[in-house]
Amino acid sequence: MTEPAIHPVLLCGGSGTRLWPLSRKSYPKQFAPLTGDQSLFQQSALRLSGPGYAAPTVVTGSDFRFIVLEQLAGCGLTPARTLIEPAPRNTGPAILAAALDLRARVGDVLMLVAPSDHVIPDAESFRAAVAAAVPAARAGALVTFGIAPDRAETGYGWLELDSPLPPDAPAAPQPLLRFVEKPDAATAQTMLAEGRYLWNAGIFLFSTATIVDAFAAHAPQLMAGAQAAVEGAEADLGFTRLAPEPWAGLEDISVDYAVMERAPGLSVVPFRGKWSDLGGWEAVWRESGPDAEGMVTHGDAVAIDCQDSLLRAEADSQRLVGIGLRDIVAIAMPDAVLVAHKDHAQEVKQAVAALKAAGAPQAEAFPRDHRPWGWFESLALGPRFQVKRIVVHPGAALSLQSHHHRAEHWVVVEGTARVTIGEKVQLVPENESVFIPLGERHRLENPGKLPLTLIEVQTGAYLGEDDIVRHEDVYARGQGAKG
């Protein structure tokens, strides 16, 4: 059997805030369905699959490991490896670790590195651009992909070619002169007019041997730590946890700074299809296909006499109504609402920083908390009580656990639960309830074929998620809020 030519490496450890309140540290934008029914991560994984592509390697953080598996399974894919970063260290260490791991497992093969939060609607055209880059990468080149610009964008880095690119030029590797930092408006306009600059997409194709040698030559300070982190990695269920001690000593540096801007003889393949990194709400508005009035609505949102605006209602129970709006972004979540002029939508980071400084949980915590067994959300919270909705996947089970500070009352509203309280195990059907006293060991399971939904009422002096002692857990999460 012939080994697939290309091994995708999907980077999905980021936690950007430019799409707050939909994207937050606990549930970043790559896992959200921003431009369709599938998440950006799912779209990326499917784009880099099919004939000629091996199963992907995913590099992510511990908090997202089960979301990665769930979303890949949702689109019919199984990863070849899921590498867990002990802490974020930027794209340089992440790519080096993936290359070292891939070389140890498979040998000297081509690896296609891509962020998991980009939008590329024409997957076939993108795969054709990748195919055009294969001969150069096999010959030992470091190949990146550049997007043919259609505007003087200041939010992207740019790539400079040695000569203008003809409009009808086929997708083929071109000599890359240099990387250009995000420009000001005047510089971006000049580069657009010259016709020999592309947007930097942050997507790369090279062999494992070539990129490891490049790191050894241009970022040798990363080699020993990354090698030790890979060699000391430990299996954890279906994941591979990089060794934390050597990883902690690695420099936080992008692959551009570490290698690409220093290596000679780089090539770039121009891509003329649509592309966006969805770096802000204005980009989401643009990529969502505004109607004749420039309007984009999502969910239960209604626009009356509005133009050039984006209205998104993200909860089933919400109704978002805009009247007479011009160039406005309005994003309504159950726990937070953003209203901004499109020209100022990039400043949302300042709002997140202000919320974080004020101690507001909305700065980083998503209202729906995803776990390997399903998810929950808080419906009401008071000084000594909390009401949650809990949804458990078919066949899934929470840990056998206990709490020091709270008691719980469970009411099943959909499906049938198998409940363990102390030594007693019982089935609890719809419209029935059980009480779990403070300190009692208990477990919730869904033995059925459909999702299980229940309402949980907590009462006690402390209701934090870290008040949990796990005695047994099929997901091997350890202690703590998420483990």
Judged against a pLDDT cut of 50, whether residue 474 lies above it is answered with yes
pLDDT of 473: 87
CA pair distance 97, 250, nearest whole angstrom: 11
∠ CA 374-375-376, rounded to 5°: 145
Return d(Cα 53, Cα 289) in angstroms, integer.
30
Higher pLDDT, 57 or 372: 57
Give residue 17's pLDDT: 82
Least confident segment among 21-35, 159-173, 424-438: 159-173
Residue 135 has pLDDT above 60, yes or no: yes
Say whether pLDDT at 352 is over 60. yes
State the Cα–Cα distance between residues 120 and 198, nearest whole angstrom.
16
What pLDDT, on a 0 to 100 scale, did the predictor assign at position 35? 85
Q: What is the pLDDT of residue 25?
A: 86
Task: Select from 52, 78, 54, 67 the least CA-distant residue to 13.
Answer: 67
| Most confident of the following: 192-201, 257-266, 410-419 | 410-419
**Read out DSSP for 294-320?**
S-EEESSEEEES-BS-EEEE-STT--E
pLDDT category at 47 given cuts 50, 70, 90 is very high
| Gap between the Cα atoms of 142 and 136, Å rounded | 8
Task: Please give the Cα distance from 180 to 170 (Å, whole number).
Answer: 23
**pTM beyond 0.75:** yes
Q: Which residues pair with 57 in a beta bridge?
A: 9, 81
Judge contact between 26 and 14, C-beta under 8 A. no
**What is the model's pLDDT at position 483?**
45
Residue 403 pLDDT? 95
Q: For residues 5, 236, 229 and 49, what is the CA-based torsion angle, rounded to 10 degrees? A: 20
Tens of pLDDT along 105-127?
Answer: 999 999 999 999 999 999 999 99
DSSP category for residue 37: S
Query: What percentage of the chain has pLDDT greater than the value 70?
Result: 98
Res 279: pLDDT: 86
Structure tokens that stand for 118 in this block: 């980009």
Kindly state the percentage of the chain with pLDDT values over 90. 77
Give the residue-averaged pLDDT of 224-239. Answer: 93
Rounded to 10 degrees, the C-alpha dihedral 454/378/69/93 comes to -160
Helices 208-218 and 223-231: crossing angle in degrees, nearest 10, is 140
Read off the tokens for 441: 């060991």
- Asked if 216 and 100 touch (Cβ cutoff 8 Å), the reply is no
pLDDT of residue 1: 40
pLDDT at 480: 59
**What's the confidence (pLDDT) of residue 481?**
59
* Domains recognised in the chain with CATH numbers: 6-271 (3.90.550.10), 281-355 (no CATH), 368-472 (2.60.120.10)
**Does the structure show a pLDDT above 80 at 170?**
no
> pLDDT per residue over 264-311, tens digit each?
989 999 999 899 988 899 999 999 999 999 999 999 999 999 999 999
Residue with tokens 């790539």: 159
The two tokens of residue 351 are 């709002």
Interval 19-46 mean pLDDT: 91
Closest CA to 192 of 208, 180, 205: 180
Residues composing the chain = 483
pLDDT at 11 over 50: yes
Query: In the structure, what pLDDT confidence band is assigned to residue 475 with cuts at 50, 70 and 90?
Result: confident
Q: Compute the average pLDDT of residues 198-209.
A: 95
Residue 418 has a pLDDT of: 96
